[in-house]
């Protein structure tokens, strides 16, 4: 949580403080970097939302993508946008958790084999898929947006410990847990049916012999909740941080921020319409490309969180620094791997 005596909530937005402490050009580039990441995530979120509803209800992926984009746009247009979005996200995250957990249990995986998968390994053939998985879970732009969310919620410095225990840690653990459940379901389908599911409808379809129609529906609901909830949060983060980089008021209730948020949503819908033939590949590539900007943003966070004039007594100590260095090494390594995959 960033200190600022001039802010009643006790927080200062990350891009603003980056401009003050590391120079205006660095702060502006940070805002543009986060915005570019949200554009990439927007594609995956838009395609994912439309794809899930197409599977559950029928109809065109593009049509449902446009409908979801309009729905999020109406949500952003509300007067108290942040509070409405927060309530929606809580409901969707609950739906996502139930959907993925239930579909995993119904598919009856080999839990001992799944536990062995916790031993780290990097399959040589993973390629873009591995990079995309790390890119979507190692979300640097979410770390940048945290300060703005705290400011929107008007939280105080003394609430830091409670926020960490009740919000930050459970949120990060839940994200990793949901990713593991999806991998377990996919591997169970492969091992039990011998079918390689290369598209989302194929995955949900081959779930039926294992978990019945209910299993595929639950998985589809979880997939929709994951994509649609990220659609709203991601666009809000992009618009807010770019506004701060441009020196505007970064409150989500201002019309300039809303316009920037709409531009993120519009970009996701536009790319989906143009590349409607290969939605799964589009999601993987878009998520993978986010790691190109992440190292730059990671260095900024690393430097700021070690400064006493920024963090006060909450600055990173030795233990946090070790984990931060591990994170930087991981994100630099995966970025290097992406460059090798793209340019050979």
C-alpha to C-alpha distances, 102 to 41, 135, 178, 220, 222, nearest whole angstrom: 26, 26, 11, 11, 9
> What is the separation, in whole angstroms, between the first and last Cα of the chain?
41
CA 76 centroid distance within chain = 18
C-alpha to C-alpha distances, 45 to 34, 42, 249, nearest whole angstrom: 16, 5, 26
Per residue in 23-71, pLDDT tens? 889 989 988 888 988 888 888 888 888 888 887 887 888 899 999 999 9
Q: Which pLDDT score, from 0 to 100, does residue 266 have?
A: 94
All residue ranges of the chain with pLDDT < 50 are 1-11
| 203 within 8 A of 180, measured Cβ to Cβ | no
Q: Which pLDDT score, from 0 to 100, does residue 262 have?
A: 94
How large a percentage of the chain has pLDDT more than 90? Answer: 6
Per residue in 136-175, pLDDT tens? 666 777 777 776 767 666 667 776 777 777 766 776 777 7
Q: Which pLDDT score, from 0 to 100, does residue 5 have?
A: 36
Phi, psi of 182, rounded to the nearest 5 degrees: -60, -40
């Amino acid at each position: 949580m960033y200190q600022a005596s001039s802010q009643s909530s006790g927080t200062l937005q990350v891009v603003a403080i980056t401009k003050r402490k590391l120079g205006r050009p660095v702060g502006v580039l940070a805002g543009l970097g986060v915005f570019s990441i949200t554009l990439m995530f927007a594609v995956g979120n838009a395609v994912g939302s439309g794809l899930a509803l197409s599977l559950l209800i029928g109809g065109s992926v593009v049509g449902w993508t446009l409908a979801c984009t309009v729905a999020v746009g109406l949500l952003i247009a509300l007067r108290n946008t942040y509070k409405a979005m927060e309530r929606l996200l809580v409901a969707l995250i609950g739906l996502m958790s139930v959907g993925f957990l239930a579909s995993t249990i119904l598919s009856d995986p080999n839990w001992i084999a799944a536990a062995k998968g916790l031993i780290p390994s990097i399959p040589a053939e993973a390629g873009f898929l591995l990079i995309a998985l790390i890119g979507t879970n190692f979300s640097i732009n979410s770390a940048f947006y945290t300060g703005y969310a705290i400011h929107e919620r008007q939280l105080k410095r003394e609430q830091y410990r409670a926020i960490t225990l009740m919000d930050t840690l459970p949120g990060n653990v839940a994200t990793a847990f949901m990713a593991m459940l999806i991998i377990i379901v996919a591997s169970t389908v492969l091992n039990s049916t011998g079918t390689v599911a290369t598209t989302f409808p194929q995955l949900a379809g081959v779930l039926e012999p294992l978990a019945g129609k209910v299993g595929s529906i639950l998985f589809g609901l979880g997939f929709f909740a994951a994509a649609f909830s990220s659609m709203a949060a991601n666009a809000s983060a992009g618009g807010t941080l770019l506004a701060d980089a441009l020196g505007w008021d970064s409150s989500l209730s201002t019309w300039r921020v809303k316009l920037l948020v709409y531009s993120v949503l519009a970009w996701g819908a536009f790319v989906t319409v143009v590349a409607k033939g290969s939605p799964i590949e589009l999601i993987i590539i878009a998520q993978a490309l986010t790691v190109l900007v992440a190292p730059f943003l990671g260095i900024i966070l690393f430097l700021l969180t070690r400064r006493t004039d920024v963090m006060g007594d909450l600055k990173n100590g030795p233990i946090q620094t070790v984990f931060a260095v591990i994170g930087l090494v991981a994100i630099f390594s995966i970025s290097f791997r992406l460059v090798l995959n793209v340019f050979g």
